Amino acid sequence: MKKEMIVNPWEVAGDIDYGKLVKEFGVSLISDSMKKNLNSLHPLIRRGLYFSHRDFDKWLEAKSKGKRVSVITGRGPSDKMHIGHLVPFLVAKSLQEEFDCEVFIPISDDEKFYVKKDLSFEQSIKFSEDNILDLIALGFKPGKTFIFEDFVYTDIYKYAAQVAKRMTYSTAKASFGLTPEKNIGWSFYPAMQAAHILFPQFKRGKHISVVPVAIDQDPFIRLTRDISQDFNFEKPAALHAKFLPSLLGEAKMSSSDLGNTVIYLSDSPKEVETKIKKYAFSGGRDTLEEHRKKGGNPDIDVSFQYLKFFFEPDDKKLQKIYNDYKSGKMLTSELKNILIDKINSFLKEHQKKKEIAKKQIGKFMFKQ
């Protein structure tokens, strides 16, 4: 039997039906013609992990007319970061490279402090500081990329207050699944995130920003769009990603539930190897003989999905892996080894850049 689907920023459960979400949320699918214009963008967009949008066509059009556009996406620092957490940031970076625009990155340490029972105030600040280094290490442009933490850049409060006055409790309750036993931080936080989403316009004046996020974050965007005209702002656009499977193959990769079945950006080569070999859900057959004869299923194979969305940007090479795995020519162990090598060379670089990021922090934190 199908489990009831629940999708809001603080709860994702049941069998996810993306078609139904598109209808319920009133968003648009990313069309093939739109994708054609985005060919040089990150595989996450080209290859469809991002599947729906709001007004992204308007954002592209504004840019093509030479108008200011920007990108805003945030991070809730509840833990050290894993590969799944990179999804919106890789796309933000790719948009910055392609369109040379400013990127704003709010860090919602307050959000995670409110919603994670066991996260102390000190820990949430510590994770912010650590996560910020990971984000800088991705290679955003200094001078065009602005990071701020809610607990440190307390100026954000004045924008959140202006937003909060325009949001009713009943709207927030319905959109975010608020229930009476929750602390009241949950009720206020949506005003903070709406202030994040409007921040580029508060600071730079009226223009279109796009918010790349997983689809569960759309309620924040919907509410923000509803109040944006009160400030004489443009409605923010959005790009929505599906949930990335964990190594085990579940819908959403969440570090709190899945412990060591995610690849942390701090993992050692040995840890990566063990996790992929032991946990990465395989589309291979039970025996070597059967695999050679009938072939594997790359479409459900988690290692293949990770190559597709993150680690093999070359379409021809990816297609060859797909064909070889499907025909049985390539074994699961071979596929996994390709992924292990790719992840480890990415992490080696990343970990070096994270060290360097410690000295670059000043260039990236929003001031004023």
CB of 239 to ligand TRP, least distance (A): 11
**Quick check: 63 and 69 in contact, CB under 8 A?**
yes
CB of 186 to ligand TRP, least distance (A): 12
Q: Out of 52, 70, 73, 145, point to the residue binding ligand TRP (CB under 6 A).
A: 73
CB of 84 to ligand TRP, least distance (A): 11
Vertex 194, ends 192 and 200: CA angle to 5°? 105
- Of residues 151 through 210, those in contact with ligand TRP by CB under 6 A are 193, 196-197
Give dist(CA 291, CA 301) in Å, integer.
Answer: 14
Q: Out of 96, 217, 246, 255, point to the residue binding ligand TRP (CB under 6 A).
A: 217
Q: Which residues contact 70 (CB under 8 A, 6 or more apart)?
A: 101, 102, 103, 104, 200, 204, 207, 208, 209, 210
Closer residue to ligand TRP (CB): 217 or 344: 217
CB of 343 to ligand TRP, least distance (A): 22
H/E stretch holding 271 reads: helix 269-279
Q: Is 344 in the site for ligand TRP (CB under 6 A)?
A: no
Question: How many residues bind to ligand TRP according to rule CB under 6 A?
Answer: 15
Give dist(CA 56, CA 102) in Å, integer.
Answer: 16
Half-sphere exposure of 306 (CA within 13 A, CB side): 30
CB of 227 to ligand TRP, least distance (A): 15
- Of residues 3 through 42, those in contact with ligand TRP by CB under 6 A are 9
Q: What are phi and psi of 337, to 5 degrees?
A: -65, -35
Closest listed residue to residue 60, CA positions, set 51, 71, 52, 69: 69
Closer residue to ligand TRP (CB): 110 or 301: 110
Q: Out of 83, 167, 211, 247, point to the residue binding ligand TRP (CB under 6 A).
A: 211
Say which amino acid occupies 132: I
CB of 199 to ligand TRP, least distance (A): 9
Which residues of this chain interact with ligand TRP, rule CB under 6 A?
9, 72-76, 106, 108, 111, 193, 196-197, 211, 213, 217
